[in-house]
Amino acid sequence: MGISRSCRKLAARWARRAALCGATIAPAQAQFWQCVPYARMISGIEIYGNALTWWAQAEGRYERGREPVPGSVMSFAPTQRMRLGHVAMVSKVLSEREVLLTHANWSRRGGVEKDVIAIDVSEAGDWSRVKVWFASNNGLGTSTYPVNGFIYADGAPEAEDRKSTRLNSSHVVSAYAVFCLQKKISINM
């Protein structure tokens, strides 16, 4: 009896994340990070190319949706000032309209920011437009950004998890991998 494709994918994802825990990684301040490789590394979502392509590339490969869950990637649509879009991993859901993001190359070129707040400011409350914490303001930025939605690394959230901030078992693996990375990487804000 063969191992199912989803079991092989889960095993490969676990192995990759476990390997990251033992890796020796240069401190964040010595590394220049772009948002895409950093989001790919911490989320396990294997999409390549500019951030503006992630939403379309995820179709048929990953579940996508409008609700944030820990470990999902928020896909920002391009704007005139942010022509290549942006991607950021949701590290925690605080409320129906507030999340914490971990991402790179936002406030400071090449810098990593961990657990910064993003707020849904869309009129419909559907996460189609957000404000994000910006270091030089020491608070929410003055701009709002269009969001395509969320890309789920391990499938769409279960109905009971959609309004919950608890981690399900698949996110515990992600959280543990991020915990291990934090022990290896000094992340300064």
pLDDT of residue 175: 42
Q: C-alpha distances in angstroms, 23 versus 18, 70, 139?
A: 9, 23, 33
Could you say which DSSP state residue 137 is in?
Answer: G
Residue 117 pLDDT exceeds 80:
yes
DSSP class of 58 = H
Please identify which residue in the block is written with the tokens 């543990």.
Answer: 176
- Residue 22 in this model has a pLDDT that exceeds 70: no
Measured CA to CA, the distance from residue 147 to residue 86 in angstroms comes to 9
Report the mean per-residue pLDDT for the chain. 78
Whole-angstrom Cα distance, residue 143 to residue 113?
A: 18
Comparing CA positions, the residue from 10, 5, 22 lying closest to residue 177 is 22
